[in-house]
Structure 1
Amino acid sequence: MSRIGRAGFKKQVMFVLTISSFIGALIIGGAVYFFETHQVKKNAAYLIQNTTRQAAVMLNDRLNLVFTQYNKMTDKTSLWRLVNQTYQEEDSPQKYKDILECYRDMKEIYSANSEIMDSLYFATSDGTSIPLYKDMIFEKRKINLEDMFQKNYEENYGYYWLNKHEDQVFPTRKPRYVVSLIQCFKNTKGEAAGYMVLNFKSSYIEKLLEKAQISENGYMMLLSDDGFLGGTHVEEKYRLSEKTIREILHKENENMEKEGFSIYQVPLEINGWILVSVVPVGDLVSSSRQFLVILGITILIILLIAGIFSLVSASMITRPIEKLTERVIEFQTNQNVSFPVDKNMGYEMRILAEGLSKLKERVEELLRQVKEEQEEKSKLELLIVQEQIKPHFLYNTLSSIKQLISMEENQKAEDMCEALSRFYRLGLSDGRDFITIQEEAEHVENYLLIQRYRYAANFDYSINIADDILKVKLLKLSLQPLVENAIYHGIKKKEEFGTIVISGYEENDFIYLKVFDDGIGMSEEELKELQTAVGRGKVREESNHFGLRNVNHRLKLYFGEEAKLVFESTYGMYTQVTMVLPKTKGEKEC
């Protein structure tokens, strides 16, 4: 019977899913996606590549126009007389005329190309310089010729192109970024004797690249070995990595796909730099209206087919589910509702009914546990508040302060008042449940200072906690009960001078906080009794070990079963309590 029911229900579901998925998604959606999307990507790639070539030609022509005018200037003898320094003392008028002619040529280049030219600068090794910069006031700066000749100009007939950089030739208060063409001039002896710097406005070139709208999120960049220009205003997720940029510079492929981008590159003839168009692969099909229309029609057809088969199959599979649904709705208002299992149900429906019945039992059990835990937590929080206030401790401390004042021990009384104030301020901690180990140590130190005054310095103490755990979070009032236990059950019963040592460190991803006292200690029977009492789950105020049980219960409640208190003691010698906390959980509370 169960095998028949199982096969029948499975066939019904398989029929509906197979027919609607296969006919709708595979035939129509698959055909549209694989054929139409491929064609759209191909067309978009062609348009972007063509736009990149046009932009490269336009930029190359614009730079070449300036370069052609500049070459005419370098052919003149006036410039080379300045480079070779062939003047005698009586030739100073000729040198002045040559400087004026060079200046006029530079000015002509600047004026004819003012929209792209930023500045020009010519200098020789004998100190002659001709600056041309008209837009802003610049700071005068002596330029070292040796720095200008460090580049290997021989590779390109004495020319060197420098990609986008901050202008150091004409420094201004507001930094300007330029693209530079630098030429080194050598005299007849083959020595470097002068140079010319043509600074182009990087902003002009960037605007030229931004005007080329290649896609919604695509952009153009001008790459060279010493940097790049463009793409600075692009979102971080659309930027190329340095690894990909290096790969573009060292490969001659026109097109490539990297990091989810289609990359098209065209070299500039004038300097060999590469104009790159970067387009997210998703943009190649995002602008295709035809694709969106076909995809929309495909979705509608799939939905229509799925709707028809849903109507056919609904009457076969929903009838038993509706019965269980009514039971679930009734269970929301009446927890006594049961989920009977009918033998005539299909296999899947019987499993579902049995699961709901077990789930109901589990929910009832969880509600009972939650109610008990909330009651326990509320009781624990109330006891913690009472522990923070400690009326008898406050009364005894105030009484000690009064006694000190009566004995005219005003400084001790003042110190004790200040320690009491800090003790309660840190104890209350603005209502926070967690404070740092550093704050808890300070709270304990104030407590120990008060107790030393009260017991006439009958004990000494030291606190040694590693610096690397001071900022780890800890439940407040975790250490103080351990210290209090050391005083009242260790040092005080010893009836002679004692020592308390508090230490803390990290080891193997656990935090260890230890409280040691050389008090009266405990026998083996007393130690076992203490361990048993502290390990109990419930916390009762009337317990002899309420403080320690409270700490242990709170640690396990917030940090899990890995947190614990470990007790060591030898009667007549010492007692040590070690608090063990998982470090990762302590850090999450920060």
Structure 2
Amino acid sequence: MQDFIDESVFDRFCPDTIQGDFMKHSKKGSRGPRLYFSHFQNRILCAFLLCTLIPIFIIGGISYAVSYNIAKDKILNASISADAQLHTQFDNRLQQVENIADTLQYNMYNLMQADAPMDTLAMLSEIRSNLSMFKTSFDLAYINIFLPDEHMASSESLYFFPMSKLSDFQIPKEVLENPGTSSVWFYQDLLSVPFLVNNSYHITNSVSCCRVLKHPDTDSIKYAYIIYLDASEFSSILQEIFQDNQITSYILTDNGKIVASNNPSLLSASLDEEKLDFLYNKGDSLKKRAHTNYHTTTLRNGWLQVTEIPDSYIMQNTHILIKSILLTILISLPLTILVVVLISKNLTRRIKTLSRAMETLQLDASDTNMKALVPQDRAPETFDEIDKLGITFEKMQHSLNDNLQSILELSLTEERLKYQLLQSQINPHFLYNILGSIQTCQSLGKLDIANQMLTNLTRFYRMTLRKSEDLISIRDELTIAQLYLEMEKLCHNDNLTWEINMEDGIDNFLICKFTLQPFLENSIMHGLSQKTPEVHISIDLSYGDDTVIIVITDNGIGMAKEQLLELQKTLDEKIVNYEKHFGIGNVNKRISNPYFGNGRISVESCLYEGTSITIEFDQMEKYDEECNDCR
């Protein structure tokens, strides 16, 4: 026992071992970033870099965010200004058409009021001249006038058409249902006008302004006229203003149709209801959806002029800014690192010296040269914190040398007391149970059994007291176990049987004394029941991987799942409970000590099927005990 404890204490306090442990941990830390951060200079370097680079990146990020917002505002403001210019231009064009419609309204009123044929012909001639002038002067695509079928000019088929042909011109139903003196605007795509005089002119898409007048009494149409504008006129203006194809600008009708756009692929396309509701929302004219900014203005005819500016377009215009920020960081980073390295190296030079002195500490050395740590040419009042730390370290070394021997002696005493306490606790526990069994036999009049048990108990204690060592051979431990089983067999009317199986030579190894008895006691006391009146115990000893494995198996009543879990917890946590599982917990605590085999105990049990105890510990020989001092 003393040899094992001496080795333990030596390992704990030997200066060479301290240095070896330090080098071992250093090797473990040499993998990955731990080695790098194990040096104080590297920590200082990282701290300086973080304190320097974080503000640089924060300032760079803030600068970029501010500059990005400024660039975004400028781009959006430029687009808004362009939209305002376009809005004025489009509104003027629409107003121009409205004025033509008002003039035609007056002419049509006079035409419908004329009674005499000559007056009618005169008005028709005047209207025809006006239509030709309007078309030429204001660059209109065409003008159609629809008259009642019985009117004398309805069959002209140049500017005037019969009312029955009104349905051939794709006029929306809602236009006919809401007549009045106000204009109704609608869009017609792929409109074919076969009646044109100049066949080389072909209308594909048109923006139409229509007015329909009905009789107030009969609700029948008196006349109607439509003024056509070529939609490509608006698209050309949009393409001229927004030449960058990343910005999309278009005119949108109230039913989601795109009338004109700077992107030809969008012409006559229809927007989904969700996007249409979003654009026609009465909120701000500048909106954002997903990664696109929208600027909307309402034209005088109720349609929307929409400009889409994606975030990617804004990002492209900030590339120069990003390159400038990155270039600044790349230039400042090497300079910052160089300055930080020089400063950190100067700060940590003396700390490295102190660390090296601590690494090479020898507790049994008489003195340590501290001249490199404490300048000899300086007055004590000028010492800084590192100088004072070196002086304190020197004092600590002297103190360690003075107290090393006393610490070793106290540790030896502590280890002896701990083991003796555990060993002394189990003997009274065992003796109490056996004496109780003897008293029971005497009370029942079984004096011969009681006398035999006393004889066996005498042999048992003669054997255990003769073996005063803490570690005994497995052979002696089996002898003690058989003496105990023979005593128990006398108490249970030959209901107890056992067998011992072992591999050759395994009984020469050492085992912690009094290891098997508590497990055998449990197999007998808790194994016998009405359902299992006879108990057979099997003790098997075999070799493991440099270990000895002892398996104690019984066919007793076994344990319920809750009891098994409780016992396994006691073994895993190495608990010694004086009220529950005291014997097993005591053994588990003792053999788990590295000096007594570094043992492990596991339990498996099933109710009404029996219990199996597995004890595994390191192979120990008497030679080990004798050579402890040599290690």
TM-score, scaled relative to structure 1: 0.43
Larger Rg: 2
TM-score, scaled relative to structure 2: 0.41
